[in-house]
């Protein structure tokens, strides 16, 4: 006759078999790391939830800043990198799980808002902080490298023929950059107002530069909001090269003449 333990094991097996293939709930592990625990403790918790069979465990991570726009990366034992371009995405169920699903093949779970916040907290705690620039310092870093990589031209907006020709040259430089090879220098230039030293930069060109630096997408609302906080403005110019030619339209960011050029790149605070 079967013992009670044998009967329990048999019933557990039937229960597991009947649940196989169903969507699993997002039940978190029964314990949570303490604040200040070493990164390995947070990795253990994340692996218990997402990789209980230890097939390719998470072993660490890195993040570049503490603000929501900063990127964050997790590393698995195989060397695979799982990257969120903006760590604020971790607090959104779809944003958190879409990256895990597409990059690591991890099946989505049913998660409550609290579950998502705990997982986001664990991920940020296990990731080493490699740089902590505040948002304004980061814009200054983008700007300093942009200045180093673009030529400069001067023009007076009050001199209508001169300003018109500068805008036409800007338009031509953009078209040349669209056809350039990776080894060619960029033709798009920073246009400086010769009256007050305000700098005009093509909005699309600066956005492309920023996306190249962060190695990922940056939305227009996010970028526009960030530069507005730095005191930049937006404007648009329309001019004809000649009275009979079509309009040339340029969207610009206006960088105040007294906004710091930062001759030295801001120093990154490296995590231990």
Domain residue spans of the chain:
22-131, 135-255
pLDDT at 241: 66
- The reported pTM is 0.56
- Side by side, the strands of the sheet bearing 247-255 are 152-155, 190-193, 199-202, 247-255, 233-240
Burial of 263 (0-12, 13-18, 19+ CB in 10 A): exposed
Tens-place pLDDT, residues 213-270: 877 778 898 899 989 989 999 999 887 766 677 778 889 999 999 887 544 444 444 4
DSSP E strands in the chain: the ranges are 58-64, 72-76, 81-84, 127-131, 152-155, 190-193, 199-202, 233-240, 247-255
- The answer to whether 99 and 89 are in contact (CB under 8 A) is yes
pLDDT of 39 strictly over 60: yes
CA 89, CA 111: separation in Å to the nearest integer? 15
At 185, list the tokens. Answer: 């220098």
- The answer to whether 191 and 250 are in contact (CB under 8 A) is no
What confidence tier does 18 reach under pLDDT thresholds 50, 70, 90?
very low
pLDDT at 195: 94
């Amino acid at each position: 006759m079967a013992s009670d333990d044998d009967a329990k094991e048999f019933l557990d097996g039937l229960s597991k078999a009947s649940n196989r293939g169903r969507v699993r709930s997002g039940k978190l592990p029964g314990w949570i790391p303490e604040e200040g625990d070493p990164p390995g403790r947070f990795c253990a918790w994340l692996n218990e939830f997402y990789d209980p069979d230890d097939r390719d465990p998470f072993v660490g991570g890195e993040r570049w800043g503490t603000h929501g726009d900063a990127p964050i990366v997790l590393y698995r034992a195989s060397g695979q990198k799982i990257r969120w371009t903006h760590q604020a995405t971790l607090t959104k169920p779809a944003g958190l799980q879409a990256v895990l699903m597409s990059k690591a093949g991890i099946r989505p779970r049913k998660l409550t808002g609290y579950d998502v916040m705990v997982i986001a907290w664990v991920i940020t705690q296990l990731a080493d902080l490699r740089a902590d620039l505040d948002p304004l310092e980061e814009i200054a870093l983008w700007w300093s490298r942009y200045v180093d990589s673009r030529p400069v031209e001067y023009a007076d907006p009050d001199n209508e023929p001169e300003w018109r020709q500068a805008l036409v040259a800007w338009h031509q430089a953009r078209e040349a950059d669209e056809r350039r090879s990776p080894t060619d220098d960029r033709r798009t230039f920073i246009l400086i107002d010769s009256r007050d030293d305000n700098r005009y930069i093509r909005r699309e060109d600066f956005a492309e530069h920023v996306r190249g630096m962060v190695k990922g997408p940056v939305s227009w609302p996010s970028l526009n909001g960030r530069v507005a906080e730095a005191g930049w403005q937006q404007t648009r110019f329309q001019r004809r090269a000649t009275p009979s030619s079509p309009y040339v339209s340029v969207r610009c960011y206006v960088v105040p003449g007294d906004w710091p050029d930062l001759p030295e790149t801001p120093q990154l605070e490296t995590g231990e």
